[in-house]
Structure 1
Amino acid sequence: MKSPIQNEVGAIFVPVRDIEKARDWYCDLLGVPADGDIPGGHLYVLPMKHARVVLDSKIYSDEAVYQIPAFHFNTEDIEAAYTFMEEKEVELVTDIQFDHFFNFKDPDGNLLMICQC
C-alpha cells in the first residue's frame, strides 16, 4: 500500500505563555505584520513561506518549553542574522558555530536556531 502520509511538515507548535506578546515578538523578529486571528484565544499561525509555525499558549508549561531546537529559521547571511539578534537584545545561547548556525531563546525560554542554508 502506498503511504497516505505526505513527506512535508504541516506545522510546528511552539509553547508560549502570552499569545499576543509572542505573536508580536516573532512577527517583529521575522519582519512580518502582526495581524490576523487568534483562534480560540490561544493560537497564532505565523505567516511563513513553507511549514507553518503555530504559537500556542494553551500548551505552555515549563516542561513543554524546548530544551533543544525543534526547528531552525533559515538565513542566507549568518553574520548579519547574528548581528540583528544582538541588536534586538535577544538572548543568544551560542556564538556562530562552524560558520553555519547559532542558538537563541525566545522570551518564553524556547531554545531555537538560525541556520545558514
Structure 2
Amino acid sequence: MGIIMNRVGAIFVTVSDIEKAREWYCSILELEPIYDIIAGHLCCIPLDNNGQNLVLDSKIYTEDTYARTPIFHFNTDDIHAAFQFMRDKNVELVSEIEHGHFFSFKDPDGNLLMVCKC
C-alpha cells in the first residue's frame, strides 16, 4: 500500500449547530446519536466498518467556508512520510502538519484536500 492510501477516510460537513447536526444525521442514517462531540465542535459518525467517517464540524462554519474547507481526507499510517512525499511531488501544501495528525494541500484546480493519520 502507498504512503497516501487510495481510499477516503472521512467526509467533512460544515454545520452551524453541532448537536442538532448530530441528531439529524444520525436520524437519517438510522443510528443512535451516541457519538461524542469533541472539543465542542466535532462529531465523527462511522459510516462503515472500514474506518470511513462522516465528520461534522461547527467550528469551521461561516458563510464562505466551502471555498476554504477540505471536503474529505485521504488516510495515511505515517503523516511525516506522507507530508514529505507530497512535498517531493511539488504538491501545493497549504499547511504544515497540524497537531501531529493532518495537513492540507491543493490539487491542480485549487480544491482543498487533506491527509490525516488514521
For residues 72-93 of structure 1, give each alpha carbon's deviation from its aligned partner in whole angstroms, at most 9, with x where no partner exists.
xxxxxxxxxxxxxxxxxxxxxx
Q: Deviation of residue 64 (structure 1)?
A: 2.1
Distance 2:42 2:24 in 1: 14
Number of the residue aligned with 1:7:
6
Number of the residue aligned with 1:63:
64
Letter in 2 for 1:56: D
Q: Judging changes above 3 Å, is the alpha-carbon distance between structure 1 residues 27 and 42 closer, same or farther for their aligned structure 2 residues?
A: same
Higher relative contact order (CA 8 A, sep 6+): 2
Q: How does 1:15-94 map to 2 (within 5 A)?
A: 15-49=14-48, 50=50, 51-65=52-66
TM-score, normalised by the number of residues in structure 2: 0.51
Q: Does the 8 Å contact 2:35/2:45 carry over to 1? A: no
In structure 2, stretches of 5+ residues that fail to align are 73-118
TM-score, normalised by the number of residues in structure 1: 0.51
In structure 1, stretches of 5+ residues that fail to align are 72-117
Q: Judging changes above 3 Å, is the alpha-carbon distance between structure 1 residues 7 and 42 closer, same or farther for their aligned structure 2 residues?
A: same
* Structure with higher strand content: 2
